[in-house]
Each structure stands twice: as C-alpha cells, then as structure tokens.
Amino acid sequence: MARTLRISTRNATFQQWQALLTNRTKRQRAGEFLVQGVRPISLAVERGWEIRAMLVTDGPGLSRWGRDIVDTADAPRAVVAAELMRELGGKDEDAPELLAVVAMPGDDLARVATGPSLLAVVFDRPTTPGNVGTLIRSADAFGAAAVIVTGHAADPYDPKAVRASTGSLFALPVIRVPSHAEVLDWVAEVRDDGVAVQVVGTDERGPVEIAEQDLTGPTLLVIGNETHGLSNAWRDSCDQTVRIPITGAASSLNAAAAGSVALYEAARQRRLA
C-alpha cells in the first residue's frame, strides 16, 4: 500500500512542489512536473506515466473518480491542507480534489513510431507555453505520431502548456531537441531504414499552397517561431515549403493555429487517399 504524508505548512516538500509550477530549471533537475485538472491527471494515469506523488486535499472524502485514480496510480500519497492545494492548483476558490507529481519521460527521438504513415510535427523555438500545449492537442486530434520541440523554446511541461494540451501531452511523445541538426540526423536514420519521409515547412511566403502538397506519405511538418517563423537552418533543410492561404486583415496565422491547419490538411488528405 502506498505511504501517506500530511502537509499542513509551507514546508520544504510543499516548496519543492510549488517550484515545479514556476521554475523550469528545478523541474528539469527533478525530472518531474505538477499536473492539474481531471482530464490531464486521468490520462497520465491511464497511459501509464510514472506518478511520483498523488496530492489529496485534506477535507471531505474523495469522489468516485478520485478514489479510482488514487487506487490505480498506487503512488505515494500526500494529504495537503486545502489552502495549500488552492495555491498549487491555481484555484482562487475551491481547492482541487487531486494533483499529481509526474515524472518526465526521456527526450529520445527513438520514442517516435516510424513507418509509411508517419506524421509528426516540429515546433521550432516556440516562445509561448500555451501555443506548445495547443499544438500538442491538435497533433493528438489529427493523428500525429509525435511533437518535437526544437531550440531554445517554451517548456512543454510548464503548467500553462500542460493545461492547454488538455491531457494530450500524455497521449503522444513530446520530445525536446536542442536544434534542427539532431532532428535531421534522425530523419536520415529513418530514411536509411526505408521510410522516405519528407520534411515540409510552413511559411506565409511558401511557393506551394498546402492543399497542393501531397501529405499522404511519411511527413515531418515544421512550424516556425511565433514572431520570426522558420529559422534559416530549417528553411534550407525542408524539402518543400508550403503556405496557408488567408484573407481579411490578418497578416498571418498564430503559429499553433497554422500548425493545426497543416495537421488537419494532412489528416484530410490521408482520409481521402
């Protein structure tokens, strides 16, 4: 049976959990992050992620969902004072019933399932955690095998990114990679294994409309930074660069929105193929 702690003051343990919400360096050093919300916690448990601690609000008994999650996770438990749970859960009023401390998986491109139907997306140097989470959610919805985040980028384990993914972070590999070079080395290995993956960048000045590009084969979609778009290194590395036609007063699409449109177009083509 999992052991139970009691936390009623802002002691060292509470401060460690609080740091997981606000301090990227401490998240990385600990190799864990704090998960808020019913759906994200449920998916983390259902998908077999390592639950390092389950935090339970001190008060009335757990709901049926809460009991099921705690029993299934079988992780060390901490009963935490309601006011402290409100701080950790970002709630101004009601304390969350449960929070979970979850281990980060390794950033290994070998986690990406490759094959003739490969569809994965690269988000290069995103600056906004919410955009990272939104693109992860879209990648999950449209059948992508993975999201690869490259360069100096927002953290997919930031609580804003985790919330924006609405649990999809736990449904597909999300891999952080230092630069485009490591991704291109992986692409070369995939090609050597007989999978003719194409690298397709998105850019408002791309020479080909996205609907005209065949996305039914193995494809790596590359989405650029919110402000500067694709880096020169990625532009030079793409087999093709496509544009999403837009009208109206908008000068461009939000990066996560553009990625979502590109993923939808790939899924649409694949349904019709």
**Mean pLDDT of all residues belonging to the chain:** 94
The answer to whether 163 and 131 have CB atoms below 8 angstroms apart is no
Mention every residue, 6+ apart, whose C-beta is less than 8 A from residue 64.
none
Residue range 17-26: mean pLDDT, rounded = 96
Residue 1 pLDDT class (50, 70, 90 cuts): very low
Question: Which two tokens mark 211?
Answer: 């609907």
Instruction: Specify whether domain 109-272 bears CATH 3.90.700.10.
Output: no
Residue type, 4: T
Residue type, 203: D
Residues in the chain: 273
The pLDDT value recorded for residue 204 is: 87
CA angle 44, 154, 145 (to 5 degrees): 50
Residue 249 pLDDT class (50, 70, 90 cuts): confident
Portion of the chain with pLDDT greater than 70, in percent: 97
The pLDDT value recorded for residue 94 is: 85
Residue 129: alpha-carbon gap to chain centroid: 9
CA angle 81, 85, 87 (to 5 degrees): 125
pLDDT digit string, tens, across residues 76-121: 999 999 999 999 998 667 899 999 999 999 999 999 999 999 999 9
Per the listing, tokens 């099921």 go with: 68
pLDDT digit string, tens, across residues 136-185: 999 999 999 999 999 999 999 999 999 999 999 999 999 999 999 999 99
Domain ranges of the chain: 4-103, 109-272
Residue 191 pLDDT class (50, 70, 90 cuts): very high
Bridge partners (DSSP) of residue 7 are 80
Give dist(CA 200, CA 216) in Å, integer.
12
Give dist(CA 252, CA 263) in Å, integer.
17
Give dist(CA 231, CA 88) in Å, integer.
37
Fold annotation for 4-103: 60s Ribosomal Protein L30; Chain: A; (3.30.1330)
DSSP state of 62: P
Give dist(CA 204, CA 202) in Å, integer.
7
Residue range 18-35: mean pLDDT, rounded = 97
- Output the pTM of the full model: 0.94
Mention every residue, 6+ apart, whose C-beta is less than 8 A from residue 233.
179, 180, 181
- φ, ψ for residue 223, nearest 5 deg: -110, 130
